Amino acid sequence: MSIIEVRQLTKSYRVYKKREGLSESIRGLFHREYSEVEAVRGIDLDVQQGEFVAFLGPNGAGKTTTLKLLSGVINPTSGTASVMGYVPWQRKNDYRRRFALVMGQKNQLWWDLPAQESYRLHQQIYGIDADQFKTTLSELTDLLDVGRLLSQPVRELSLGERMKMELIAALLHSPEVLFLDEPTIGLDVIAQHNIQKFLRYYQEKRKITILLTSHYMKDIAALCKRVVIVADGRIEYDGSLSGIIDKFSGSKIITLQFAEGHRPSMSTFGEVLDENWPKVRVRVNRADVPRVLAETLRDNPIEDVAVEDPPLEDVIADLFRETSERNLQNAASVAANSR
């Protein structure tokens, strides 16, 4: 049985269209024009208990809006959702005690107080037993190596240290579902690695269900086996990380190292990505790879050859770009037909 079930979930916003110029601004005081913005467009999603799912998409794709809907922060325009049997936007206290939401750009800790003071407040809000609170806090601070920082005001902590403290605050009441929105945003490589290591260990140990949004592909590769890609409020892909390349990439990268003195033209075979003779890298259509290799090996002395998939980041970026262009074309077509 799915722990998260979403059916045709939609969220639209009514946005005021402000025009430029003084006269238009004055006119807008009396005759306002609005437009409908669809942040989420009929999403269907099922997540099983214990899954660690990545939720990817460009800025404005609807990722954060979806997490807010599932955590009950906002109400949907239409559609249904169930998390652990609860309807999130009914905001029942029993539901609030069983999930947590961490947003990388929002603070839930008191800025001028030590984190341990905020944790005591969390203990009272969630009604955590004193012994359980002490045990859980000790475990989390040991795992994240921040025990020495509990008495420091939050404002004095580094960005990475603050994120560790935010994670502790979210996990003190031992939630069964965790929504993470850009938890490593702005962190350096070491801090990102530490957060990844903690999340991987904690999820494997506790078997909690995690839905993660991130723009860092290293987060996704390190943590998630399943990836859901959202673009323009719709799900474009739901499957394995490796399946993204198989489905959306129509090319391979061939790296060839020629014998000294040989410098053939490779532009006829595909897009030359890098030339550092006697080595050259070429992007070639998948279907053409056997032919390109056969012809190159037949006509040239080759010392080394490698064939690999394009970087995952490039494949996803191309997917986002194609989706954006398609949506712009559709919007232009709708506008033209409405005239």
CATH code assigned at 238? 3.40.50.300
Whether 130 shows a pLDDT value over 90: the answer reads yes
Distance CA 257, CA 19 (A): 58
- 150 part of a folded domain: yes
State pLDDT tens for residues 177-228: 999 998 888 888 888 899 999 999 999 999 999 999 887 888 888 889 899 9
267 lies in the same domain as 168: no
Domain CATH for 262: 3.30.70
Residue that has been written with the tokens 């806090």 in this structure: 137
Domain boundary among 225, 245, 265: 245
- 331 part of a folded domain: no
118 lies in the same domain as 103: yes
Whether 291 shows a pLDDT value over 70: the answer reads yes
231 lies in the same domain as 276: no
- 314 part of a folded domain: no
Whether 151 shows a pLDDT value over 70: the answer reads yes
Do residues 295 and 284 touch, judged by C-beta distance below 8 A?
Answer: no
130 lies in the same domain as 11: yes
Total of domains in the chain? 2
Q: How many helices (H) and strands (E) does the chain have?
A: 11, 13
Distance CA 60, CA 44 (A): 18
Q: Which domain holds residue 278?
A: 250-308
Distance CA 17, CA 226 (A): 39
Other beta carbons within 10 angstroms of residue 122's beta carbon come to 18
Q: What is the pLDDT of residue 336?
A: 58
What pTM, to 2 d.p., does this model score?
0.80
Using the CB atoms, write b or e for 68-90: b if 16+ within 10 Å. Answer: bbbbbbeebbebebebbebebbe
3-state SS, residue 88: helix
257 lies in the same domain as 224: no
Q: Which phi and psi angles does 301 have, rounded to 5°?
A: -75, 120
Q: What does the block give as tokens for 266?
A: 């490779």
35 lies in the same domain as 96: yes
Work out the burial of residue 137: count CB atoms within 10 Å of its CB; fewer than 13 is exposed, 13-18 middle, 19 or more buried: buried
Domain boundary among 245, 269, 297: 245
209 lies in the same domain as 276: no
240 lies in the same domain as 254: no
Q: Which of 104, 68, 58, 71 is nearest to 234 (CA)?
A: 58
241 lies in the same domain as 254: no
